[in-house]
Amino acid sequence: MTAENSRPQRLRRLETVFVDSPIYFATACTFHRRKILAGLTVHRAFIEFGNSGPVHGAWIGKYVLMPDHLHAFVALDDEKITLAKWMKSLKNAISKVLRSRKVSAPHWQKTFFDHLLRSGESYSQK
């Protein structure tokens, strides 16, 4: 608190939040948390999608693919793609595999969660 008033001082804002290739921690859940992501074909589709990402300005780091949701670190070249477009493409790629396995739609919740890693944050914190 300052001597002039009884309010505590606010923390200063970060000087820089965005970088050339921001890294996001992204989470997407299946519709009604259905356990439809467990399986080798879905995992292979995820890996194939990730391997094609650099062509489109997206790189997947560590990830966890659970039966009803996924977590992934994603780095983007912000000039080529947005996180929302990337997530839509990922969901479409996995849904294609689910449809081929006769899993009824909808497959995904409409939204997703993301957190932009700031300077000094690490994978281990997430």
At 104-116, the pLDDT tens digits run: 999 999 999 998 8
Mean pLDDT, range 54-79, rounded to an integer: 92
Residue 13 has pLDDT above 50, yes or no: no
Scan for tokens 């439809």, then name that residue: 36
Q: Which of 76, 103, 93, 77 is nearest to 28 (CA)?
A: 93
Claim: this prediction has a pTM higher than 0.85 = no
**Radius of gyration, alpha carbons of the chain:** 18
4 or 69, which is more confident: 69
What's the whole-number average pLDDT of the chain? 85
Q: Which domains does the chain have, with CATH numbers?
A: 23-118 (3.30.70.1290)
